[in-house]
């Protein structure tokens, strides 16, 4: 078993798609181990995306991630990190495969509905950033 960190981003919560995305998460075979609705502050979003601080879209990304509530999730499954990345699809919804969450719910490369950790080290950092051990 493996755990990964996921977010239903503010665009998807705002447009009323969180329930559909959670249903797809369960249908895909993930167990939800942690879940919380939270409106991130700009500082919290900047800390979360610190690895992207030098990227040109950092300001846009952190403004967007702090623009409204999102759903923070700890998901568990065999090979959960890769499985969740596959379930989400490519970063740019226009390039994501049919049947993926970003293809179905994302609007643009910035407003792409979901986040997922990309490696065991980032999953450990991201889960620890948002959840206390006791909550999981
Ligand atoms: P991910 O791992 O698939 O989420 O993609 P990255 O780690 O490359 O980027 C992190 C997040 O930054 C993405 O999910 C997008 O929301 C956002 N992002 C990536 N590229 C761009 C871009 O060119 N413009 C904007 N506005 N956001 C971007």
What tens digit of pLDDT does each residue of 30-54 get? 999 999 999 999 999 999 999 999 9
**Could you identify the atom of ligand 1 that is nearest to the CA of residue 60?**
26
The dihedral region occupied by 29, where left means phi > 0, alpha psi between -120 and 50, and beta the remainder, is left
As a whole number of angstroms, the distance between CA 63 and CA 95 comes to 24
How far apart CA 125 and CA 134 sit, in angstroms, is 16
d(CA 15, CA 10): 8
User: How far is the centre of ligand 1, averaged over its atoms, from the C-alpha of 134 (Å)?
Assistant: 30
The residues, ordered by sequence, that sit 6+ positions from 56 with a Cβ below 8 Å of its Cβ are none
Per-domain boundaries in the chain: 2-38+70-135
State how far Cα 21 lies from the chain centre: 11
Which residues does ligand 1 sit against, CB inside 6 Å?
A: 57, 60-61, 91, 109-110, 112, 115, 118
- The pLDDT value given to residue 8: 99
Among the listed residues 46, 72, 115, 117, the single catalytic one is 115
If phi > 0 it is left, if psi is from -120 to 50 it is alpha, else beta; for residue 7 that is beta
**Å from CA of 2 to ligand 1 middle:** 24
Q: What is the pLDDT of residue 83?
A: 98
For the question of residue 115 being annotated catalytic, the response is: yes
Which residues of the chain are modeled with pLDDT < 50?
A: none
88: which DSSP letter?
A: H
Q: How far, CA to CA in Å, does 94 sit from each of 17, 120, 136?
A: 18, 27, 34
- Distance, in Å, from the CA atom of 15 to the CA atom of 29, rounded to the nearest integer, reads 24
pLDDT of residue 72: 98
Which CATH number among 3.30.70.141, 2.60.40.1220, 3.40.190.10, 2.60.40.1580 corresponds to the domain 2-38+70-135? 3.30.70.141
């Amino acid at each position: 078993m493996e755990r990964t960190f996921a977010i239903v981003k503010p665009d998807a919560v705002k447009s009323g798609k969180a329930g559909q995305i959670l249903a797809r998460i369960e249908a895909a075979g993930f167990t939800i181990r942690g879940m919380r609705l939270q409106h991130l502050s700009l500082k919290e979003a900047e800390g979360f995306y610190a690895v992207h601080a030098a990227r040109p879209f950092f300001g846009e990304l952190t403004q967007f991630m702090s623009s409204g509530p999102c759903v923070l999730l700890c998901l568990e499954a065999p090979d959960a990190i890769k499985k969740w990345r596959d379930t989400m699809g490519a970063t740019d919804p226009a390039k994501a495969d049919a049947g993926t969450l970003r293809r179905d719910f994302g609007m643009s490369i910035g407003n792409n509905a979901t986040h997922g950790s990309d490696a065991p080290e980032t999953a450990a950092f991201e889960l620890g950033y948002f959840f206390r051990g006791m909550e999981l």
